[in-house]
Amino acid sequence: MFKEPTYLDNHSTTKLDPKVLDAMMPFLTNNYGNSASQHYFGYVSSEAISIARKKIAVLINSSDEEIIFTSGATESNNLALKGIVDSYKSQGNHIITTKIEHSSIIDVCKKLEQKGIIVTYLSVDKTGMIDLLELQNSITDKTILVSIIFGNNEIGTIQQIQKISDICHSKGVLLHTDATQVIGQLNVDVRELNIDLMSFTSHKIHGPKGIGALFIKQTTPKILISALIDGGGHEKNIRSGTLNVPAIVGFGKAAEIAKSELLTNSNFVKNLRDKFETKLQLIDGIKINGNINSRLVNNSNITIPNIKIKNLMRKVKSVAFSTHAACSTMDGNISHVLNAIGLNKNEIESSARFGFSKMNTEKEIIEAADSLINAIKELQNSSTHIISHTNISNN
């Protein structure tokens, strides 16, 4: 009988929480109104959207007025960068980001560069941390935006956003952060952290795909952001188009659950991750990537000597994991993140990413680790065999 693989790819997406599906069902069936309509069906939908917006705002400690719904973090990132650049281009043509952003930041930056925007890509140390002094020194009077990934989707490194925010604001520059991976793992408080713009998405917190949000801080004077999509003036004219009511309701429910289960889940997931890594460390020479002291609790990115991860993936069909980000920006499928922390091509090809969630069980994690260890040993033995064999024939 076919047994489903153990899902350890929770950085690329997560399983829908059954409670989220239950919350969505009425809006996929009887409650089909357009939330902009001025009649009973419209009111039912617009009421559901207000409630969901409130729940999402509570999760990040914003006001609901500050939440703009988008199709996901990719769109939120596009909107933040392109929207800010378009609104503030008369004040400057410089933005700052990092070398370890998600493709939806890097690719936007590449496009902005073609349009004459100057982009500084901050480097990171071996653990994936940016240098705060380098950030501070990179800000000029032409800088209009700093965009830094909060928690990295490959190696899990969590940046010091509070300190980054202090630096940006002491220089009067707006801060955007892609918080997609930290939401639901860490308590993110946009007030306390003093973040101006923040992207996140529903499907990384056990909500439905195709719905996300951009938080835009309410300030005086207002933060100006040009729309990518014009139309009926939805979402304060920042993002037009009929709202995806079932998805928004699901996102709201997922946010509510993420908030109420935050501590329990992060402890549970961290325990799974640590058990998994303890087991894998039985393999000689294994290396954990990222910052051990500041890392997403659900992340394990490891380099395994003398094997190619694509061979490991072929061998261990019972575990669903990945080599790196589902959406990579580098040619030849080489991770730009692992490259930025100084791994060479060989090491990158020997690196795997595992992502855990509340849906995993301790039993399946132990089994997955055992299957991986066995396969790694076999692959390492056959590769040393080939190497010694070649050596002999060379002599």
Ligand X SMILES: *Cc1c(COP(=O)(O)O)cnc(C)c1O
Q: Is 345 exposed, middle or buried (0-12, 13-18, 19+ CB in 10 A)?
A: exposed
Total residues binding ligand X (CB under 6 A)? 15
55 touches ligand X (CB under 6 A): no
290 touches ligand X (CB under 6 A): no
301 touches ligand X (CB under 6 A): no
Region from 78-86, 167-175, 176-184, 233-241 binding ligand X, contact rule CB under 6 A: 176-184
Footprint (CB under 6 A) of ligand X, residues 202-221? 203-204, 212
Quote the least distance from Cβ 245 to ligand X, whole Å. 18
Of 98 and 265, which has the nearer Cβ to ligand X?
A: 98
The residue of the chain with the least Cβ separation from ligand X equals 72
Region from 137-145, 199-207, 279-287, 298-306 binding ligand X, contact rule CB under 6 A: 199-207
Q: 3-class SS at 14?
A: coil
Q: Number of helices (H) and strands (E), helices first, in the chain? A: 13, 12
Of 96 and 375, which has the nearer Cβ to ligand X?
A: 96
Helix or strand run (H / E) with residue 98: strand 94-98
| Strand 94-98 to 118-122 pairing | parallel
Catalytic, 327? Answer: yes
Quote the least distance from Cβ 367 to ligand X, whole Å. 27
9 touches ligand X (CB under 6 A): no
Q: Is 189 exposed, middle or buried (0-12, 13-18, 19+ CB in 10 A)?
A: middle
Contact 187, 59 (CB under 8 A): no
Q: Indicate which residue of 224, 282, 292, 327 is catalytic.
A: 327
Quote the least distance from Cβ 157 to ligand X, whole Å. 12
97 touches ligand X (CB under 6 A): no
Cβ neighbors of 162 (< 8 A, separation 6 or more) are 192, 193, 194
Per-residue x/- marks for ligand X, 60-79, CB under 6 A? ------------xxx-----
Quote the least distance from Cβ 104 to ligand X, whole Å. 5
181 touches ligand X (CB under 6 A): yes
Q: 3-class SS at 81?
A: helix
Edge-to-edge strand ranges of the sheet holding 299-303: 287-289, 299-303, 351-355
- The Cα-based distances of 14 to 4, 8, 152 in angstroms read 15, 9, 16
Single out the residue of 98, 180, 266, 299 in contact with ligand X (rule: CB under 6 A). Answer: 180
Single out the residue of 153, 185, 291, 322 in contact with ligand X (rule: CB under 6 A). Answer: 153
Rg over alpha carbons for the chain, rounded to the nearest Å, is: 22
- The Cα-based distances of 197 to 69, 116, 123 in angstroms read 13, 23, 22
Cβ atoms < 10 Å from Cβ of 18: 9
Quote the least distance from Cβ 73 to ligand X, whole Å. 3
Kindly list the residues in this chain that would bind ligand X in the complex (CB under 6 A): 11, 72-74, 102, 104, 149, 153, 178, 180-181, 201, 203-204, 212
Catalytic machinery residues: 327
